Structure 1
Amino acid sequence: MSFKRSAIYAPNPATTRGVSTKLSASKEKIVYTNGKAVFIRDLDNPGLSVAYAGHLQNTTVARISPSGYYCASADISGTVRVWDTVGEDQVLKGEYKAISGRINDLEWDGESKRIIAVGDGKEKFGHAFMFDSGTSTGEIIGHSKAINAVAIRHQRPFRAATAADDSLIVFHQGAPYKYDKASAVFTIKTHTKFVQDVRFAASGDHFASVGSDGKIFVYDGKTGDTLGDFAEGHTGSIYAVSWSPDGKQISTASVDATVKLWDVETRKATSIYKLGEGVEHQQVGAVWNAPATIVSLSVSGDLNVFDPRTPARPAKTIYAPQKPVTAAAAASPGGTFFAGTADGRILAYDAGGDAACVAGGHTNLVSALAPAPGGSVFSAGYDDRVRELDGAAFAAAEFATAAQPRALAVAGDGTVFVAEAGVLEAVRANQKVAELKPAVAPSAVAAAGATVAVGFEDHKVRLYSWDGKALGEAGVLEGNKGTVSALAFSPDGALLAAGDSSGKIVLYDVKERKTVTTRWSFHTARVNALSWTADGAHCASGALDTHVYVWSVARPMKNIALRNAVPGGVSAVLWRGAHTLVGAGADAAVRVWDVAFHQSAL
């Protein structure tokens, strides 16, 4: 057996209300952070994303060097990591402690040699250094509060501008960069509130700044002289500014839920894009990543793609998880599959990897997703609701649970079984038709035809027969060494895989009520998900230990080990066709692998 990764569907950037989120661009791809990972996303092909997971703390900003060979990424601890973007190994070139606190922004110089990182440090708010050695290349001083943004002129003579919460922009000459007190413009006092972003035009002739006062200013790129402001501005804080490649236009993104396109020469707005009403439509980031593409970021995490030639509305909106994926299920093999997240959102992924946001969703963590015989999928959330999904919308079926749902399964007659804290409910047509209150709390459930398997915290699996009205106990399966955390019947219902909190998976013969094998025991932490191939010959498992394994029924000691498959832990696995495996979890990305089964080894 062998495998190769075929796609990574990246999550959308992490956002915080009232905080600017830095997006960057390189060769028509955008670069951003989510959790402890950095993602390089292709806007046209969602499967061509790149994920970097080398940080130990939550990341804040990432930018690719002008040469395109390296990426510098930073985190909340003040660490900057420089890594290779060429090839799949992502070799680390250097790791540096830039400041002793959160890094808010960083920038490369035009020669791809020097980096300036800024943020909220204890001893200093910024640091300039060589990317290959960490050697200091000047001082970033002049601010009394946290620095929010930095921009470097890419042409010689180099200049750097930093923008901070002290309402100031400091203009540094370099390299080495220094705070030139002899200059009349070493401190620029145009804004009256926090300065949120500052960017140089590609030509280096100008740079622009935006702030919480809703103002936009443009300056001379060599001298720092203020050339003027954009009188109209925005009605709320502006969190991002970005230049067009030709330097003739800028785009700005604001909490007034608008993205505006400006002509630099006239300082007038040429296009205004209104994203909607409400907090979720506030714009906290933006980048101009191609001659005809602007990308902005909503607080909700949605990426809005604009074509400057198309007025009034985005050309498209990119949806993806923003929080960890906690559950997944497919309506049919090879078709749409659903991913539920820790913030209650549910995304529907099509065959090409494009995601649509399912209307409504849950208001809290999605704890389980399960396919139904009719082609729909049921979801359960920590808002104590179970709902039926039909395509990109919720169907009419919806009901409240008696307690917090942990797992769910759907029987052949359409009855939904929900394992909750202290109770197992059976619901059909939105009506509870049966209830089981065992002495031990149920922790997992699976169904095949009229047989229901329930896993418990006492390490046992109990089988029940379902006649449409009541559950009758049909047997007890013993062999697991921890709380049963995942159950899955083979497609024909003959076999049952049971994973537990110790990382062990036991394969049972359902009819004979006996153990087939206990050798599926390579996981070292809680098994969160199990999924069978359509022919019932192989079963995939995903666990908290970050690994995915593909097991063989015919030869239990043979397996495919997808080690470190999902940084932070695997929460969901599913098969899309005979050889395509999907996995997702803590880093919010969805990964796809092509798996080959070699008969000689099986």
Structure 2
Amino acid sequence: MVVNLIIAEGPRVVPLTCHGHSRPVTHLSFSHIVDDSYLLISACKDGNPMLRDGITGDWIGTFVGHKGAVWQARLTDDAALAATASADFTCKIWDTFTGENLATLTHNHIVRAVHFNPVTQNVVTGGSEKKLRIFDLHQPATPIELGPNVHDGTIKCVVWPEPNIVISAADDRNIRWFDTRSRNLIDNFAVDHPIGSCELSSAEKLLCATAGKSVYFFDATSRRLLKSVATQYDVSSVGLHSDTRKFVAGGTSDTWVRIYDFETEQELEVYKGHHGSIWSVAFSPDGKLYATGSEDGTIKLWKYGSQPYGLWQ
């Protein structure tokens, strides 16, 4: 663990830098709080997803077994299971306590996205096949496909905000909502530029998406667009702190972390810390820190707020 002193345009910020990956970090995801703590999982093009203590960033273990880049990684709410989507045409399910590979879900092309059902032990996957598949982890050999006509481009993001709704975002510049009971499309939102990311907020009621220089916020359940914010930069990732009504954005054209006011849409703070594009932003489940993953192969944890927390005393 390395602590770097970063001077920003405003207050001095001291992020924790987590090393270990050898290639760009493509995705970060936190678990829920379990016994006053939580975990962080990272996906990376080095093919070795890593598990860390979410508060300190300390390395816990590496899931070894993929033969290609890992594009996305998720944890169940209780942090007992992990799912990783890979360029080796598989999604793997892991026991986070033992590191054991519990299941390998085989696909016919690159798997870019995965998400757990919030209630059952099912996962949904998407990728270059342009299909959405739901796997029951008790019977993984017989997945269910949603659709038809799911997307016309590679599916880059999937989220499962409630048991019967799956949301996907793809290179065809569409965000789509599917009913898992009927397996049919129920809503669609088109954007003007390629989608960079599409994630649930820490409160898991709002959907945050990026495309071009714009950030979009939806009510994940009602599918209503709440706000779109135009920035001056190409935005690749965003995380919303719903309590303070601020959001953190990372971009592809520079290495800066930017904080915006949700209501006024004004840029409030700018922090320099990474040495490459920022591909993922995620708030911790308690909202007291956020994590950023970069092209430079590092993960940084940034304290959010002025009160002491974790290693920031």
In which range does the TM-score fall when normalised by the shorter chain? Answer: 0.7 to 0.9
Which residue is 2:310 aligned to?
none
RMSD: 2.9
Q: Are the aligned partners of 1:505 and 1:518 in contact in 2 as well (CA < 8 Å)?
A: yes
Q: Are the aligned partners of 1:420 and 1:443 in contact in 2 as well (CA < 8 Å)?
A: yes
**2:38 match: secondary structure:** coil
TM-score using structure 1 length: 0.43
Which residue is 1:440 aligned to?
152
Q: Are the aligned partners of 1:452 and 1:466 in contact in 2 as well (CA < 8 Å)?
A: yes
Q: Are the aligned partners of 1:357 and 1:392 in contact in 2 as well (CA < 8 Å)?
A: no
1:329 to 29, 32, 37: 29
Partner amino acid, structure 2, of 1:471: R
- Over 3 Å counting, the alpha-carbon distance change for 1:379 and 1:4 in structure 2 is farther
- Over 3 Å counting, the alpha-carbon distance change for 1:523 and 1:427 in structure 2 is farther
1:513-548 Cα offsets, whole Å, 9 max, x none, are: 4322222534325x1x33344758444332323233
1:541-594 Cα offsets, whole Å, 9 max, x none, are: 3232323334444x1414444344421111222223322111121112221212
Work out whether 1:349 is the aligned partner of 2:61: no
Distance 2:116 2:205 in 1: 17
**Superposition pairs of residues 179-194 of structure 1, within 5 angstroms:** none
Distance 1:510 1:330 in 2: 19
Which residue is 1:6 aligned to?
14
Work out whether 1:544 is the aligned partner of 2:252: yes
Distance 2:183 2:202 in 1: 22
Distance 1:504 1:564 in 2: 21
Which residue is 1:418 aligned to?
125
Distance 2:165 2:229 in 1: 25
Unaligned runs of 5+ in 2: 1-9, 308-313
- Over 3 Å counting, the alpha-carbon distance change for 1:573 and 1:586 in structure 2 is same
Work out whether 1:405 is the aligned partner of 2:111: yes
**Superposition pairs of residues 94-243 of structure 1, within 5 angstroms:** none
- Over 3 Å counting, the alpha-carbon distance change for 1:472 and 1:395 in structure 2 is same
Q: Are the aligned partners of 2:27 and 2:71 in contact in 1 as well (CA < 8 Å)?
A: yes
Quote the offset at 1:344 in angstroms.
0.6
Distance 1:3 1:583 in 2: 18
- Over 3 Å counting, the alpha-carbon distance change for 1:406 and 1:584 in structure 2 is same
Which residue is 1:466 aligned to?
180
1:327-382 Cα offsets, whole Å, 9 max, x none, are: 22222345221222221112222243321332424221110012324423211111
Which residue is 1:385 aligned to?
90
Q: Which moved more, 1:395-404 or 1:556-565?
A: 556-565
Counting aligned pairs with the same residue, the percent is 13
Distance 2:38 2:89 in 1: 28
Q: Are the aligned partners of 1:519 and 1:556 in contact in 2 as well (CA < 8 Å)?
A: no
Q: Are the aligned partners of 1:8 and 1:589 in contact in 2 as well (CA < 8 Å)?
A: no
**1:562 match: secondary structure:** strand
Q: Are the aligned partners of 2:89 and 2:108 in contact in 1 as well (CA < 8 Å)?
A: yes
**1:6 match: secondary structure:** coil
1:87-138 Cα offsets, whole Å, 9 max, x none, are: xxxxxxxxxxxxxxxxxxxxxxxxxxxxxxxxxxxxxxxxxxxxxxxxxxxx
Could you list the runs of 4 or more consecutive aligned residues of structure 1 that deviate by over 6 angstroms after TM superposition?
A: none
**Superposition pairs of residues 305-324 of structure 1, within 5 angstroms:** 320-324=20-24
Distance 1:474 1:385 in 2: 28
Partner amino acid, structure 2, of 1:403: H
- Over 3 Å counting, the alpha-carbon distance change for 1:517 and 1:344 in structure 2 is same
Larger Rg, first or second structure (1 or 2): 1
Q: How many residues align?
A: 283
Distance 2:203 2:68 in 1: 34
Unaligned runs of 5+ in 1: 12-319
Which residue is 2:288 aligned to?
579
Quote the offset at 1:403 in angstroms.
1.6
Structure possessing the higher relative contact order (Cα contacts under 8 Å, 6 or more residues apart):
2
Distance 1:589 1:491 in 2: 22
**1:548 match: secondary structure:** strand
1:570 to 263, 275, 278: 278
Distance 1:337 1:542 in 2: 18
Which residue is 2:189 aligned to?
477
1:277-333 Cα offsets, whole Å, 9 max, x none, are: xxxxxxxxxxxxxxxxxxxxxxxxxxxxxxxxxxxxxxxxxxx22222222222234
1:195-223 Cα offsets, whole Å, 9 max, x none, are: xxxxxxxxxxxxxxxxxxxxxxxxxxxxx
Which residue is 1:175 aligned to?
none
- Over 3 Å counting, the alpha-carbon distance change for 1:336 and 1:491 in structure 2 is closer
Distance 2:264 2:38 in 1: 29
Distance 2:257 2:299 in 1: 13
Which residue is 2:3 aligned to?
none
Which residue is 2:7 aligned to?
none
Distance 2:121 2:266 in 1: 36
Q: Are the aligned partners of 1:575 and 1:581 in contact in 2 as well (CA < 8 Å)?
A: yes
Quote the offset at 1:451 in angstroms.
1.9
Distance 2:301 2:28 in 1: 13
1:43-96 Cα offsets, whole Å, 9 max, x none, are: xxxxxxxxxxxxxxxxxxxxxxxxxxxxxxxxxxxxxxxxxxxxxxxxxxxxxx
Q: Are the aligned partners of 1:368 and 1:406 in contact in 2 as well (CA < 8 Å)?
A: yes
1:127-164 Cα offsets, whole Å, 9 max, x none, are: xxxxxxxxxxxxxxxxxxxxxxxxxxxxxxxxxxxxxx
Quote the offset at 1:487 in angstroms.
1.0
**1:423 match: secondary structure:** coil
Distance 2:29 2:65 in 1: 15
Which residue is 1:363 aligned to?
67
